[in-house]
Amino acid sequence: MAAATGGGVLPELGQVPWRARTDRRYLRRNARIWTAWTLAYGIPFPAAALALVWLEPLAFPVALACLAHGWIIPELYAFRGASVVRPKGPRNESSEPMAQGLLGDLLDHEPRELQRTTGLAVQQGGFGVWLVAEAGALLIPPGGRRVHCFCVRTTDRELPPSDRIAHLLLALRTDEEGFATVANHAFCGAPWRVRRRMPERMRPALDAARCAARAA
Amino acid sequence: MSRLIKMDHTGHTTLAEWTEADQAAFELAVEQFRCGLDEGYIAVHDQGGAQAEQLRELPRDAGLVILRRPIAGG
């Protein structure tokens, strides 16, 4: 799989002039912030639940609410991350075969087969391995221990699904840093947290991308 | 044979095809290319090997040039 290394600057960066260009340092910092955020929910609430029960066993219902709070909020964040790759918008079944043909022409043999079965286009980039969906993308940095979830779409929502993927793929290949800058960062966390909330047919694509990221 | 295509609701539409020797077909392609840019499309030359380049002028030996819509954060 060849890496996306286009040397241009994405014209859409003009829409977000206030954003600093995304680089590896930004991604690492973002990953640390998400880890701290998860720990901030995952440790204090269960600890408070235990303390409540220890101090006053009759406070058991409140302790349960604390536990639920510490579990539900990280779950919701991970759900938001997985949602970026869910199929969205019109299916355009009449024009989709033609769009699929064009997308297939843009992909090598293995990524083409993977895209046809999972709906996600895999693309090696400078930041790691990307999985491009209709209205979002996942990035698995080298090592495969994390996944960044980006919400990004074409401005024409009525296009066939494969055309929407092709739009994102071409933008990514033109300027990977610009692509990550224009996209909205939705979540970062362990791949298993995202995987179990992804549609089942898409999970093999994440597994393949993790393998490729580990080998990188 | 080079091709200029536009991604649209039909999947894609071929706007022009030309060869390096065919000046008339190339001029027609340049006209379609400029119309596409005026409509807000972005021209991309997929160079193979997972590289793409944004185009502001249509090269005579382009191969495949694709007009795409802008993207935005969701």
Q: Is the pTM here over 0.90, yes or no?
A: yes
CB contact under 8 A, B8 and A159: yes
Tokens of B56: 């502001």
Mean pLDDT of A117-130: 96
- Chain B residue with Cα closest to A111: B50
Closest-CA distance of chain A to residue B23, Å: 27
Higher per-residue pLDDT: A174 or A7: A174
Q: Where are the domains of chain A?
A: 3-32+82-215
Nearest neighbour of A170 by CB, restricted to B9, B10, B46: B46
The answer to whether residues A187 and A138 touch, using CB atoms and an 8 Å cutoff, is no
The answer to whether residues A23 and A177 touch, using CB atoms and an 8 Å cutoff, is yes
Mean pLDDT of B21-36: 96
CB contact under 8 A, A136 and B49: no
Q: Is the pLDDT of residue A5 over 60?
A: no
Model pLDDT for residues A178-194, shown as the tens digit of each residue: 999 999 999 999 999 99
pLDDT bucket at A200, cuts 50 / 70 / 90 = very high
CB contact under 8 A, B51 and A2: yes
CB atoms within 10 A of CB A78: 22
- The one-letter code for the residue type at B10 is T
Q: Is the pLDDT of residue A4 over 80?
A: no
pLDDT bucket at B62, cuts 50 / 70 / 90 = confident
pLDDT computed for residue A171 by the predictor:
97
Higher per-residue pLDDT: A6 or A146: A146
- Chain A residue with Cα closest to B52: A174
Nearest Cα to Cα of residue A136 among A125, A150, A119, A157: A150
**ipTM, 2 dp:** 0.95
Model pLDDT for residues A70-123, shown as the tens digit of each residue: 999 999 999 999 999 999 888 889 999 999 999 999 999 999 999 999 999 999
Question: Token match 């290319």: residue?
Answer: B33
**Chain B interface, mutation test: which of A165, A173, A175, A184, most B Cβ atoms within 10 Å?**
A173
Nearest neighbour of A182 by CB, restricted to B8, B12, B71: B71
How many Cβ pairs within 8 Å bridge chains A and B? 117
Mean pLDDT of chain A: 94
Instruction: Return d(Cα A34, Cα A37) in angstroms, integer.
Output: 5
Please give the distance of CA A166 from its chain centroid, rounded to a whole number. 17
Q: Is the pLDDT of residue B11 over 70?
A: yes
| Bridge-based pairing state of the strands B64-68 and B2-6 | parallel
pLDDT bucket at A157, cuts 50 / 70 / 90 = confident
